[in-house]
Amino acid sequence: MRNMVIGVATLILVGGLSAVYAIVVVPLQDKKLPVSTPSPVPSPAVAVAVTPTATVPPKVFTDYVAEGDQLFLLGKVDEAIAAYNDAINANPNSAKAYAHWGKILVFRNQTGEGLAKIQRSVELDPTSAEFYALLGLAYDWNNDYGKAVEACQKSIQLSPTYPPAYGCLAEALADSGQIEKGIDAGKKAVQLDDKDADLHRSYGYALQSAGNFKAAEEEYRKAIERQPKLTYFRLTLAALYRRMGRIDDAVVEFQKVIEAEPKNPQPYEGIGRAYYDQKRFDEAITHFKKATEADPERASSFSYIGWSFYLQEKYDLAAPFFEQAIRVEPRRAEALGGLGWSHFMLGKYKEAREAFTKAAEIDPSSDLAKRGLQALEGR
């Protein structure tokens, strides 16, 4: 699991029962550029000299893709997405537009939607090393590590010296438990292209997976230096600080992202998790709610609010937020487990059993569901 998207806490339940839960974070508009219209041409009947007026030709899909790429590098993510959308409207077979749009969505933790767009790009052009590298990234962030490794290796087969293929492989190998191989792939990626910010992020992630936080921090800072306007790299550094227990440093980095992208839910959730880890639940709830205001479909933040109330023994307040998370993601086993325990603590055993049973069906390994069903025996 990605370190950015995993939170672990221990719940102390009735009778000394303890359970471990894991919260998986899952972590735009159309825009038409104005096209100049030709100036009126004098009537031929008028005996005057006519000076031709230059006109601006309509943009084609390649222009929109290039514009989207430039906007992305400037940190104008929503505008970049709008440009890629325009590219696809102009040419529904623009593989590059699908791929680059998908990459942004993956970075925003909209992994399922991003994966679908990148898969479409590979369907349109199965010979592109770039698209397979992005496909590997998307699979990895979707926790499908086997497919991620395969896609990255396919990218290398298509272009043995393509740096992002090795960056992709570094993350996929690290997440699949092959950490040393992941570090080697990440090192090769930055050796091939030291200027690519995302390759330093990938290498840093492999180092972080090995517990080498200091080296990971250095790589993340190199990524920020190379692309200071891409907030994702700062989010990655902030998440590392949170994991290291450097909460103040983490909050500072998250706040910088908020200043740049006030409508991005990720930094609000990041600050919430920092306070949550410190059991400062009221402050955590405030920031999780800000995340849901920025993105009303952010199931992870609804679930964190639920757990924040649960750990304060406010079970009646916790249940509705778990239900909100389930509304957005019906197969979110962790939220179903939280809902089950909230009902259990309120003495609503029938409702608790229903929630635990659904959670177990979705995730047979769910400790929350197993312990919940055990606690219900004889009730």
349: domain CATH number is 1.25.40.10
The boundaries of the domain holding residue 344 are: 1-26+298-379
Check the CA dihedral 63-69-75-81 and report its sign. positive
Which pLDDT value is given to residue 109?
Answer: 82
Which pLDDT value is given to residue 378?
Answer: 87
User: Which segments of the chain have a pLDDT < 50?
Assistant: 1, 3-54, 56
210 in a structural domain: no
115 in a structural domain: no
Question: Contacts for 253-261 with beta carbons within 8 Å, 24 or more apart?
Answer: 256/231, 257/231, 260/75, 260/229, 260/231, 261/75, 261/77, 261/231
74 in a structural domain: no
Question: Which ranges constitute the DSSP H helices of the chain?
Answer: 61-73, 77-90, 95-107, 111-124, 129-141, 145-158, 163-175, 179-192, 197-209, 213-226, 231-244, 247-260, 265-277, 281-294, 299-310, 315-328, 333-345, 349-362, 367-375
The per-residue DSSP string of 165-218 comes to HHHHHHHHHHHTT-HHHHHHHHHHHHHH-TT-HHHHHHHHHHHHHTT-HHHHHH
How many domains does the structure of the chain reveal? Answer: 1
13 in a structural domain: yes
218 in a structural domain: no
177 in a structural domain: no
Which pLDDT value is given to residue 77?
Answer: 87
31 in a structural domain: no
3-state secondary structure of 228: coil
355 in a structural domain: yes
